[in-house]
Amino acid sequence: MSSGEASQRGCSTLSNAVESRKSDLRGWVTLNVGGTCFLTTRSTLCKEPASFLCRLVQDDPELPSAKDQNGAYVIDRDPTYFPSVLNYLRHGKLVINKDIAEEGVYEEAEFYNIPNLAEMVKERIEKREQDRYKIGCLCLPARQVLTKHVYRVLQCQEKELTQMLSTFTDGWRIEQIVSVGSQYNYGGSDQGEFLVVVSREVNDVQTNSSPTEQTDGKARELLDRGSRML
């Protein structure tokens, strides 16, 4: 055999090997994902060369694999989310049915080592949460106004009582007048002393613990004390 014939045969062998490799990549394969079978091509699965799926169909010796009785590669994952993974490899777009949890697709993208898909799903999840927050803010009332009672306890002498009662304005209402005798003797006078409990309604924004509530509690305590002194 001449050197020219040997060279021609070598090129033919290499060409056949390349064609065989192309044919092998285009070949159809079946994946058994959690008991559900998916039919696709090796070229589709190898769109992401570093992915689990590409290494699987290339029979990577460092990646243990198994096949079922029909020759399908067995993958112990949830088949619910796999169509989104497969469709991404087919056309590079993210397609998730409305009844499929995006978080599940994200987990599968991480497992199959497809970082671009994982990033796309993550961005969609973040946008979804932002939209929910905006809608929630629009649905909330601008203010939740509550009607509360503010109490005040005023102390006066007997001669001041009539004048005080005639000067109440701005919605204040007398709740109770309590005589405390002469124990509060200011200025050496023996006039009777009185505690006048007054209240009015105010509008307040609901909070966990507002100063108004604290004031109400103190006033009620004084009111109770005054009642016991009658």
The pLDDT tens digits of the residues spanning 79-115 come to 999 999 999 999 999 999 989 999 999 999 999 999 9
Confidence of residue 17 (pLDDT cuts 50, 70, 90): very low
The chain-wide mean pLDDT, for the chain, equals 76
Can you state the angle between helices 115-139 and 82-91, rounded to 10 degrees? 120
Would you say 53 and 29 are in contact if contact means Cβ atoms under 8 Å apart?
Answer: no
Mean pLDDT, residues 220-224 taken together: 52
Q: Residue 13: what pLDDT?
A: 46
Exposure of 27 by Cβ count < 10 A (0-12 exposed, 13-18 middle, 19+ buried)? Answer: exposed
Higher per-residue confidence, 54 vs 166: 54
Amino acid identity of 30? T
Confidence of residue 140 (pLDDT cuts 50, 70, 90): low
